[in-house]
Structure 1
């Protein structure tokens, strides 16, 4: 008997050392976690007192200390009250004291302190003890019921206070209280099991000594809730606990069943040793344990993940989706939507860099620009941040609260943050658990790699677009020699490739000190017309003066902050147009609405554009000067021809003005209009080879003289045939006296065989001749000339050209004369090519023959 008691005491001592060490270890961990926190200090004290309580209980039962058994038992019961008071004080102040304790609680704790002193120092609670083999029984004193009532009120108060706080708590505190309440419940159940049910069922109270193990359930769950960064999902804890309970119970039942069967079937019949049967049954249980554990875990996981998500499945799904998505915005949206939906979040967002500009895709609202900048600063720490781990009054917590972000996960590659995942609260209101933390830690690097690949893909595409645009610009500039066309084509390409909202090209005046807008996109016409910028003034003036390119972002340069704000510009690039080390203007592009800022890459592209553009502008200017010289020369030649006949002075200018207006009315191209301009100016150049006497003869011409006059188109064509740059105009000069119906000169061709330019000059020339004085007649009225054109439309003149010319006359204020010239035949202008938004004003002779200067 004594030997069995000694063996039990050794077993109890081993359990005591393990449990007490665990409690003291938990006390130290919680205390060191945050020694300045009141609840940490109180819990540590409570766990230490629990260890003392267990040690005193053990010592009081030992035969070696039987002489001090009464004192040890009283100290044991006093420490029990102290433990209860500390746990109650912990419950009142967790997670932090909200208000001072009421007088009632002060009275309660004072009563507890008094009871501790009475219990330890007097026989009013424990009058004496009866020492038995391996234990001691307490003989109650008169105040033992008061002791019990105080203790029961304390236990009930702990449960009530924690439950009340749980109902009012949110997020992490709520999860912590779940674990604490679970610990209290398990402590209570195990105490009932070891201290009441098993002793009653077995008839032995020795199992009650194992009740010390149940204290670890209380301190363990509470400490876990206080010190763990991320808590496990309480449902998984319960389900797994139930699964392992079933597993152990099933394994034990299988073992007992096998032993019973084998003893009944084999032991007596075959005289098999019982130790061998024990070994065989043990092997069966051991080998069956793992498959059974796997099946139970699978069953609990299916039950658990039915209400939440399976991290492994979600990770595999996201990996496949991210690998197959290369568009940056689509990738960010995919991650945000999958996380929000599968994790059952209120919202999720992905912040990423696009051309060094922070952008965000969110399943909810967008944060403000300031909030996004602050979030980016937090990401620079390159650490996962949970809002419930931050001090409530900190600025970091305030930023996360404003954006409703519960978890901020920076995405970095090679220590460079390229984006972040921003997760909102769970729809259930629960905290992010250890399972979520493990999942996010695995997901973050995969998401970072996918975003980086998408960024590289986007950058590659941008480089391709830029090179394509440069090539297109080179072609566009090569095809155009007119300055306006060059400027507009270049600006269109620059605005497109940089995704700008507006842009302009400003060129210096001849004085070299003032710049005007020569081409614009996205800028009001009145601003374009009124803008004058001196060199050295404003952004454009500074660039023109310093010859340095400038990139501005969100008003960061104080020199130009007011100008950007006035124009509502978020980001701008302005570069000088330099040719032969001389600034001739500036090129500017702006972003107003776009959230993306211009980058150095954008600046390099615009600078490359500007280099090509400056050279082309200079070439266009040189060509313009050459063309002006050319047009001045041919105008002088035409004037020399007109000077031979005082009656035809100014005739070439008038015909040119009419011809240009008709050509534009018919929608001819700029090149064709140019050919008409040159040909109409020089249409009578052949008269330079006709005797002036014939040209000025006041009487009718003889047949020979008429033949000489009719030869002037051929003479003019022969004069100009050797000039390559006039080859487009020569046929117009040669055939401007051909008749639409045939019978004209010099070739007698008809219809569409006559160049359209020649048909235009024919109408303009004939009309001006009719309304002008001649040596042999007076000028016709406008009405008479119009009647003549209508009458000969289809025979001498192209009907479409006549109709277009009549529209020109109406535009110039001769609608009444046109309408008076016979009944309108209902014909309309047939546009030969798409009409260009360009018109020319012409001047005509009045009915009395007064010549007006063409405009």
Structure 2
């Protein structure tokens, strides 16, 4: 059972990262096609990631429940190939014109897969094993595997074509996106299709492997400030660290309290919980503001230092009256920013 808890924790974390990043990026520009498509892609991946530990937790009731949940958790993966391919067509220049044939073809294929979802032609049987889900698949599952691999391979080909004419930052974006997609495609096919064919089950790593694609795409976004990812990374990191801190402190406080007093619904317990809530709410805002600068200090260090220097310069210059002193303050700060031994200001 320990491995099942580890898998649930791992995939739950993966789902939180996927969904959180998708929502934060979408909120920056809700009308941008790339942002909308990225959000849909993250929703599919997050559902795939979260349904797998749900299958682990509830499949012990009976083989019928295991079979039902195993079939159900693959549904988000039906939508992933078409959304991924569409993203490769509009990324990064966002000039692709929507075509009815594209949506009709993929919608037909998704409906075909859904129509066979609960038949033995798709997945015949299923049971939980220590390393994942042991299932016997039929011909439709093989067709799905071919569709997924072919669609993602075509998406990588679309990105490869763009490398021939894009220049500069956009070319670098596409290169990173393609590298992450290829790695995720290879690992996903290995864990979801190839290894199960040889009765080797680590299929919980299939949704986790998508983090390579997300990570490389995020790196491409960071390098060009595309989608204003800096704000998204700052907030996501701050909230993630806050959740971890509050969970650890809460668990530790409850553990210490239960060692000395009985944790029952009484006056002391109410006072204890109220005190925890008061302390947590008191430190939330300053702690969040401090944690939001953590990615800046590492991922965007140069820009962060410039902003801090400008802020300090504004604070100092506001209280200076003498022109010579103001000039010296400006020169000193410019030397610090540019890492120069000397600086001169010419005033007209």
Whether TM-score is above 0.5 comes out as yes
Asked if the contact 1:60–1:69 (Cα under 8 Å) also holds between the matched residues in 2, the reply is yes
Shift of 1:147: 2.1
1:111 aligned residue: 108
Compared CA separation, residues 65 and 47, structure 1 to 2 (3 A)? farther
Where relative contact order (Cα < 8 A, 6+ residues apart) is larger, the structure is 2
CA distance in 2, matches of 1:118, 1:199: 23
CA distance in 2, matches of 1:136, 1:199: 9
How do 1:677-826 and structure 2 match up within 5 A?
none
Asked if the contact 1:20–1:51 (Cα under 8 Å) also holds between the matched residues in 2, the reply is yes
How do 1:834-853 and structure 2 match up within 5 A?
none
CA distance in 2, matches of 1:147, 1:215: 18
CA distance in 1, matches of 2:80, 2:87: 11
- Give CA deviations for 1:41-64 in whole Å, capped at 9, x if unaligned: 111121121111122223334433
Compared CA separation, residues 125 and 29, structure 1 to 2 (3 A)? farther
1:47 aligned residue: 42
Provide the aligned C-alpha RMSD in A: 3.8
1:35 aligned residue: 30
- Give CA deviations for 1:216-273 in whole Å, capped at 9, x if unaligned: 1111221332355459xxxxxxxxxxxxxxxxxxxxxxxxxxxxxxxxxxxxxxxxxx
Asked if the contact 1:19–1:213 (Cα under 8 Å) also holds between the matched residues in 2, the reply is yes
Shift of 1:14: 1.6
Q: Does 1:224 align with 2:219?
A: yes
Compared CA separation, residues 117 and 196, structure 1 to 2 (3 A)? closer
Q: 1:77 aligned to 67, 74, 79, which one?
A: 74
Q: 1:123 aligned to 119, 123, 137, which one?
A: 119
Q: 1:64 aligned to 26, 48, 60, which one?
A: 60
- TM-score if structure 1 supplies the norm length? 0.26
Asked if the contact 1:34–1:40 (Cα under 8 Å) also holds between the matched residues in 2, the reply is yes
Asked if the contact 2:191–2:202 (Cα under 8 Å) also holds between the matched residues in 1, the reply is yes
1:154 aligned residue: 151
Q: What secondary structure sits across from 1:123 in the alignment? A: coil
Asked if the contact 1:118–1:125 (Cα under 8 Å) also holds between the matched residues in 2, the reply is no
2:343 aligned residue: 450
- Which one has the largest radius of gyration? 1
CA distance in 1, matches of 2:168, 2:326: 34
How do 1:302-341 and structure 2 match up within 5 A?
none
- Give CA deviations for 1:719-776 in whole Å, capped at 9, x if unaligned: xxxxxxxxxxxxxxxxxxxxxxxxxxxxxxxxxxxxxxxxxxxxxxxxxxxxxxxxxx
Asked if the contact 2:134–2:196 (Cα under 8 Å) also holds between the matched residues in 1, the reply is no
How do 1:331-410 and structure 2 match up within 5 A?
none
1:24 aligned residue: 19
Q: 2:87 aligned to 65, 85, 90, which one?
A: 90
CA distance in 2, matches of 1:46, 1:115: 20
CA distance in 1, matches of 2:99, 2:172: 27
Q: What 5-or-longer segments of structure 2 have no aligned partner?
A: 227-301, 303-309, 312-324, 331-335
How do 1:216-615 and structure 2 match up within 5 A?
216-229=211-224, 442-443=337-338, 446=340, 450-452=343-345, 455=346
Compared CA separation, residues 198 and 442, structure 1 to 2 (3 A)? farther
- TM-score if structure 2 supplies the norm length? 0.59
CA distance in 2, matches of 1:8, 1:175: 39
CA distance in 2, matches of 1:197, 1:16: 21
Asked if the contact 1:124–1:141 (Cα under 8 Å) also holds between the matched residues in 2, the reply is yes
Q: What secondary structure sits across from 1:167 in the alignment? A: coil
Q: Does 1:138 align with 2:135?
A: yes
CA distance in 1, matches of 2:191, 2:141: 23
CA distance in 2, matches of 1:180, 1:221: 6
CA distance in 2, matches of 1:41, 1:25: 14
CA distance in 2, matches of 1:55, 1:83: 15
Q: What secondary structure sits across from 1:130 in the alignment? A: strand
Asked if the contact 1:77–1:119 (Cα under 8 Å) also holds between the matched residues in 2, the reply is no
Compared CA separation, residues 124 and 192, structure 1 to 2 (3 A)? closer
Q: What secondary structure sits across from 2:134 in the alignment? A: strand
Asked if the contact 1:59–1:65 (Cα under 8 Å) also holds between the matched residues in 2, the reply is no
Q: What secondary structure sits across from 2:161 in the alignment? A: helix
Asked if the contact 1:179–1:221 (Cα under 8 Å) also holds between the matched residues in 2, the reply is yes
CA distance in 1, matches of 2:326, 2:337: 17
CA distance in 2, matches of 1:148, 1:210: 16
Q: What secondary structure sits across from 1:168 in the alignment? A: coil
Q: Does 1:10 align with 2:5?
A: yes
Shift of 1:28: 2.1
Compared CA separation, residues 64 and 442, structure 1 to 2 (3 A)? farther
1:177 aligned residue: 174
Q: What 5-or-longer segments of structure 1 have no aligned partner?
A: 1-5, 232-310, 312-381, 384-412, 419-440, 460-855
CA distance in 2, matches of 1:72, 1:92: 33
Asked if the contact 1:70–1:129 (Cα under 8 Å) also holds between the matched residues in 2, the reply is yes
Shift of 1:154: 0.9
Asked if the contact 2:187–2:206 (Cα under 8 Å) also holds between the matched residues in 1, the reply is yes
Asked if the contact 1:74–1:119 (Cα under 8 Å) also holds between the matched residues in 2, the reply is no
Asked if the contact 1:118–1:124 (Cα under 8 Å) also holds between the matched residues in 2, the reply is no
Compared CA separation, residues 132 and 207, structure 1 to 2 (3 A)? closer
Compared CA separation, residues 213 and 101, structure 1 to 2 (3 A)? same
How many residue pairs match? The answer is: 244
Q: What secondary structure sits across from 2:135 in the alignment? A: strand
Compared CA separation, residues 192 and 115, structure 1 to 2 (3 A)? closer
Q: What secondary structure sits across from 1:143 in the alignment? A: helix
